[in-house]
Structures are given as structure tokens and as C-alpha cells.
Amino acid sequence: MRDAKGSHIEPPRDEIVLGILHYVTEHPTAKDTIDGIEMWWLPKRIAREIKETLQQRLNLLVTKGWLIERRSPQSQTIYSLNEDATAEINEFLTKGASTG
């Protein structure tokens, strides 16, 4: 898989990445800050004490072109699904389900 710039990036198949991708594919109009993602998009058991790792995974998914990052008027970053990447995300999720 390649990112928006053509570089090869393979996101890790950890609970954070899978949780985010499952959430946005099930709720394609969802948009939230890192705090909201931590609270609503991820299962409670993995949402504790992961802020730094969560930010790294969000940055990776934005670089990959699967999430869109926007600044709100309050200068918070809002993340949402890049709907153009839905097929690629579903392929990634399906590949993980069939091999794991």
C-alpha cells in the first residue's frame, strides 16, 4: 500500500489502528478531536493512557491518506474519514481479519 505521496506505508495492525478504521467505516460522517477519538472511537479497555501512541497512529493514517486532518476555529485538530480511501481501508481490514 502507498500513501498519498506514493511512499510504501503499512499501518500496524494494532488495536488502535483497527479501532479507528472500524469506527470510521461504520460511521463515515464521524469527525472528532483526539480527545473524542479516545473517548468514543476506541474500546474503553485500550483508550486509557494511550494519547502519545494514538497521536502517532492518527498521524500515520493521515499520511497514508485514510484520514483527513482539519483545524477547527478553536485550533483543535479534527479527524475524519477520507471517503476516497474506503475501498483500500476495507481491503486492509479484510486482509487482517482473514490472516488473524
pLDDT at 50: 80
pLDDT at 80: 97
Domain residue spans of the chain = 15-94
Topology adopted by domain 15-94: Arc Repressor Mutant, subunit A (1.10.10)
What is the Cα–Cα distance from 100 to 39, expressed in whole angstroms? 26
- More confident of the two residues 47 and 31: 31
pTM for this one?
0.75
Q: How confident is the model at residue 1 (pLDDT cuts 50, 70, 90)?
A: very low
Task: Encode pLDDT of 24-39 as tens digits.
Answer: 999 999 999 998 999 8
pLDDT at 2: 52
Res 100 pLDDT > 60: no
Res 81 pLDDT > 60: yes
